[in-house]
Amino acid sequence: MTDTQLIDLIYPQNKTIAIVGTFKNAGKTVTLNEIITQAHEKGIRLGLISTGRDGERKDVLTNTEKPPIYVRRGTFLTTVESAIKGENAGIEIFKVTDYNTPLGRVVLGRAVRDGYAEISGPHSSITIKEMCLEMQRMGAELVLIDGSLDRRASAAPYVSEGTVLATGASLARSINGVVEKTMYLINTYSVPVVEEENIRDMAYNAIDMGKTALIASDGSITFLETLTSLQSGDIISGYLKEDTAFIVLSGSATTSTVKDILLNKKGAVKIIVKDPTRIFIPAADYHILGKMGMELRTVEGINIIAVTVNPYSPEGYYFEPLKLLDAMRKAVPHIPVFDVIQGGKKYADG
């Protein structure tokens, strides 16, 4: 039996990864700190960026205590001007960006000493990608993107090469509930890529042009005059034929759009979106649509590197750590699961 650390699954295989929490207080920041510590022990120079704000001592919405982010000297990071405080890690500012937030402009800098820091950044996936590349040009060997499910851009393949999913007791009041809700997210993020290369290329081109399209079984393609696929299931349905094999959505897959398609399809059809972050279907609807014959595919898949579990909820309840860990490992035997809260930072293979 060998022991593998989380960082060993992340680097050097990936240069940019997202840490995404399934819910508030699911253990995302603890996971981020653990990866930072392990990277430091291996001498990996990091870049840190957030799709919102993290590292503040108290949640500005719930007023609950939050674990701070501890950065090491030489770490590149993005933050906002108002978050650069004397008691935190000193920040050498390299660039003041044009991106404004309610807390001030986003700046790109480097920690000049070990200490706590607030990480902030843009919401736009294009801007996140640009800033990740900029940190890499400055010397960051691995960039960690602090994200969340309500800011899905960080997990998109365009932005990051892999995702670590942080889940825990705050998601549900029972272990079964946590596992069930986490599995829904994993299943959504694991929607398969289109098998046929020629269909994938056609779908990619359609999405790149911002077009909704129908692909027939003979490979012919029809572009539809819809501004977006959002809420346009009824329009798409009017064009469905018996030989329609694929429907390419230029935007997101929502319950209403997919339901309209399934109710009007003439035969087996697969619905294609750019990547799993474009799927916005609640768990209950996902199950119902699956029974109706929903088959989703993506042009680009998400690489789930690992899952971390947090047995404690800030609401005062907790689970027996090993029971939660074992339940999650049994539910996703194909994905390594870590308990970073208990200091169990090693996952035993086998």
Q: How far is CA 189 from CA 163, 170, 262, in A?
A: 10, 20, 21
Question: How far is the C-alpha of 87 from the C-alpha of 67, rounded, in Å?
Answer: 16
Please answer whether residues 242 and 269 qualify as being in contact, where contact means their C-beta atoms are separated by less than 8 angstroms. no
Q: How high is the pLDDT of residue 97? A: 86
Q: How far is CA 348 from CA 1, 125, 267, 270, 329, in A?
A: 7, 35, 46, 38, 11
Whole-prediction pTM = 0.88
- Residue ranges of the chain that CATH labels 3.40.140.10: 197-298
Beta strands across the sheet bearing 244-248: 221-224, 212-216, 244-248, 270-273, 296-298
Instruction: Give the right CATH number for 3-190+302-348 from 3.40.50, 1.10.3470, 1.10.10, 2.160.20.
Output: 3.40.50
- Residue ranges of the chain that CATH labels 3.40.50: 3-190+302-348
CB within 8 A of 341, min separation 6: which ones? Answer: 27, 30, 168, 309, 310, 311, 312, 321
Question: How far is the C-alpha of 74 from the C-alpha of 107, rounded, in Å?
Answer: 16
Question: How far is the C-alpha of 307 from the C-alpha of 26, rounded, in Å?
Answer: 11
What is the three-class DSSP state of 8? helix
What is the three-class DSSP state of 310? strand
Q: How high is the pLDDT of residue 231? A: 60
Structural domain 197-298, CATH architecture: 3-Layer(aba) Sandwich (3.40)
Q: How many residues does the chain have?
A: 350
Q: How high is the pLDDT of residue 342? A: 74
* CA torsion angle 250 230 24 309 (round to 10): -50
Low-confidence ranges of the chain (pLDDT < 70): 1-2, 52-66, 84-89, 148-152, 226-231, 343-350
Please answer whether residues 293 and 258 qualify as being in contact, where contact means their C-beta atoms are separated by less than 8 angstroms. no
Q: How high is the pLDDT of residue 169? A: 94
Question: How far is the C-alpha of 256 from the C-alpha of 263, rounded, in Å?
Answer: 11
- The runs of H, that is alpha helices, within the chain are 6-10, 28-41, 125-138, 175-189, 197-208, 233-237, 255-264, 283-291, 321-331
Using a 10 angstrom Cβ sphere, with 0-12 exposed, 13-18 middle and 19 or more buried, the burial of residue 216 is: middle
What is the three-class DSSP state of 125? helix
Question: How far is the C-alpha of 279 from the C-alpha of 307, rounded, in Å?
Answer: 20
